[in-house]
Structure formats: structure tokens, C-alpha cells
Amino acid sequence: MATKLWDKGFDTNALVENYTVGRDQELDMRLARYDVEGSMAHIRMLETIGLLTAEELAILLEGLQQIAEEIERGEFRIEPESEDIHSQVELLLTRRLGDVGKKIHSGRSRNDQVLVDLKLFLRDEMRQLAEAVRMLFDRLQELSEQHKAVLMPGYTHLQVAMPSSFGLWFGAYAETLIDDMRLIVAAYDIANQNPLGSAAGYGSSFPLNRTLTTQLLGFETLHYNVVAAQMSRGKSERAAANAMAAVAATVGRMAMDLCLFMSQNFGFVKLPDNLTTGSSIMPHKKNPDVFEIMRGKCNRLQALPNEMALMLTNLPVGYHREMQLLKDILFPATTELRQTLEMADFMLANLQINEQIIEDPKYDYLFTVEDVNRLALSGVPFREAYREIGMQVQRGEYRPTRSVNHTHEGSIGNLCTEQIRQKMERVMAQLA
């Protein structure tokens, strides 16, 4: 039977145990490889300060490597008697190697151990999220260039306003993702600081070499102040949640646009029949269920920062057990957002564009501003040109020229696709 890391010779009531452990054993499987990685760095450091012999270090590293391989092969599990991933790793080492397995916890607390695991996990998750965002960005840029000459209505107040284009629409979402990427980079930077050695939040009387573990784990820097290191629990997760919520806001807004654009009243785009769903009583229906589910999931993901903020509100300095519940919120969300981004890329790859939208007479008024500007460019004062076109509209005499000549940076005729790509690359380079 597993012995708890905090065992002092008494058993906790089973109801209390089950309630406080919750889903930790299930969720901690996401942290397994990072826990082993953190332990390897920690014991290498312990050997340099004399708390392990070179022989003990070699034995422990071999034991941890075996566990790492079991995790990689999908053979590792957290036994019911173990509270968490930390307990399970130490249990296996002790069971297989004897008393030397009990030495890996010197100079550590579960508090800084889980902090290291989470920071390594978040660092990887932010990298993977960035790659998924980049994939969608590339798709949007490709579609922007492909359809740059196809005009579509632009709206303000959901009223027909001015000409836009599919190139402009796709490109807008591409560039917006760059702002979201900046938040991903920020969350990555916050996670990329080493808390190991802060122990329970107040340091250790062992002569730990925290700089060494920082180097071994590839962190950019230390959380120097040990209390500040513990205070980063929650802050790191909230930073990641804010980045994820920003990405979700962009994708959710795009999904809403596409739900509108697919309706018969708009008719801007459509999907192949096999990517839509039907109705149980209306035989004509071809519903954009994927985009509706995408919109709903993205709305839910946007609640992440608020949910975490409420969990952490008014907590005094130091560790508190409810911080474990942040894993319940964050871990499933990381998977859901990546799946959503992959689905968005797939659906956009199959989107079909209506290239004749703008020919419909109901969009005649899109061109009033173009005609006002054309008069102004010919020398007519702008206010007189505005009044002239306005009166034509009022009298029902307006006939659009239906031509667009936008040349400035970022406009219909000058999308700046390459400049936007370079901007994305500069931001992503910060994750290298």
C-alpha cells in the first residue's frame, strides 16, 4: 500500500480523502512526464551539494528513466492509494530501488514540485497552442490571397455600409490572431521561470543550487524570491487562461460571422453537404452545426479567466488547497481549444465562396462612399459631393458605378499579406 508523502502515522477519513483528492489522480497524468523531468533535475542538483552520492544519483536516474519510458509507452498509472503524481513516482522508486528512492524529496515540497510540473506543462501547452494558431493563421492568409479580388458587403450596425472583400475578411482574422499570439508569448514567459527550491514557499536550510536546476530544466530565469515563487501558483494559470480566452474570442467571432454568412439571407459562403447537418422535420435544412458548436465552445473558453479569478480572489499569501481545482478548469480547456483550432482549419479548407454576391441590387448602396470620393477627387468639395450622392439616394435615382479603387496599406487592393506574415514570425520567434 502506498505511503503518503505527508504520512505521520494516522489515516485520513475516507470521505475527507475522496473529497480533497477529487480528480487529481486523473488530471495529474497530464503532468507525469514533467514530474519525472523535474525530479531528474532536482536529484542532479542534490548530488552536487552532497545530499546524494554519485552512485545513488546513477541508480535514481536509471529508475526515473524507466518511469519516463513507461509514461511514453502509456504503461504508467497512478495507483488508487497514491494521492497524486508526486506520490506515485516516489512510491515506484522506493518499491523498486529501496530506501534510496526516499531521498529524492530532500529540499522539496509538493508545493514547489507541482509548481515546476505546471510551469513545464504550461510552457509546452503554450508552444502547442502557438503552433495551432499559426496553422489557422496560415490557412486564413492563403484564403485571403486566393479570394482577394472577390468583393463582399461590409456592415456597420448590421446595415449595408461599404465594399469589403473576402481577402480583407480572411486577412482580418489572420492579423487579429497575431495579437492573441502576443498573449500566448506573455503566458509562456510567465511560465518560463523556475520555482524549484522555494519548497513550501519559504525556502530551505539545505544549500540548494537553484541556478543549476534552472539551467537543467531550460527555464529562462528564476523566481528568485521564494514567496513570489509560490505566489505564481494561479498567476501562471491565469496568464495562460487569458491567452486562451483571447484566441477563443477571435475564433468564436469568426464562427459567428460564418453562421450568418451561411444563412440564405446572406448566402456569402456554403459548405459541402457532408459537413452540415439536417433537421428531423425540415428536409431542406443544411445547418452549420460545426460553427455553432465552435461558437459555443469559444464562448465557454472565454469564461476561463473569470472562473480562475473567482477561485483565487482574496486568498492570502501561501499555498491553499483549492489551487488544485485550477487543474480541473485549465487542463480540459487546453485540449478543447487545440481541437477547436484544428476544426476551424479543416472547415475553412472546405469553405465555398459565392463570387457573385455583390451583383445583387440590394447591395447597390455599398458604393455610395466610393462615388462620393470619386466626385471629391475630381475637385468637388467633399460636403457637396456627399450631399449630391445623398440626394440621389433619397430620390431613388442613385446608380452605383460598382468599381472600387483602394490602394493604401491594408485596404482591399493592398492587403499587405507579406507584412502581416512577417509580423507573425517576429512574435513567434519569441517562443524559440
Q: Tell me if 181 sits within 8 A of 234, measured CB to CB.
A: no
Q: Which amino acid is at 379?
A: G
Nearest to 148 by CA among 410, 425, 420: 410
Q: DSSP string of 122-156?
A: HHHHHHHHHHHHHHHHHHHHHHHHHTTT-EEEEEE
Interacting residues of 42 by C-beta distance below 8 A, sequence separation 6+: 104, 107, 108, 196, 213
Q: Which three cell numbers stand for residue 99?
A: 530506501
Q: Is 228 exposed, middle or buried (0-12, 13-18, 19+ CB in 10 A)?
A: middle
Residues acting as catalytic residues: 157, 279
The 10 Å Cβ neighbour count of residue 426 is 10
200: left (phi over 0), alpha (psi -120 to 50) or beta: alpha
Residue with cell 528564476: 222
Nearest to 154 by CA among 168, 175, 139, 174: 168
Nearest to 150 by CA among 364, 353, 411: 353
Q: DSSP string of 221-255?
A: EE--SHHHHHHHHHHHHHHHHHHHHHHHHHHHHHH
Nearest to 77 by CA among 13, 134, 114, 26: 26
- Rounded distance, CA 329 to CA 11, Å? 29
75: left (phi over 0), alpha (psi -120 to 50) or beta: alpha
DSSP 357: G
- Rounded distance, CA 332 to CA 265, Å? 37
Nearest to 336 by CA among 251, 408, 264: 251
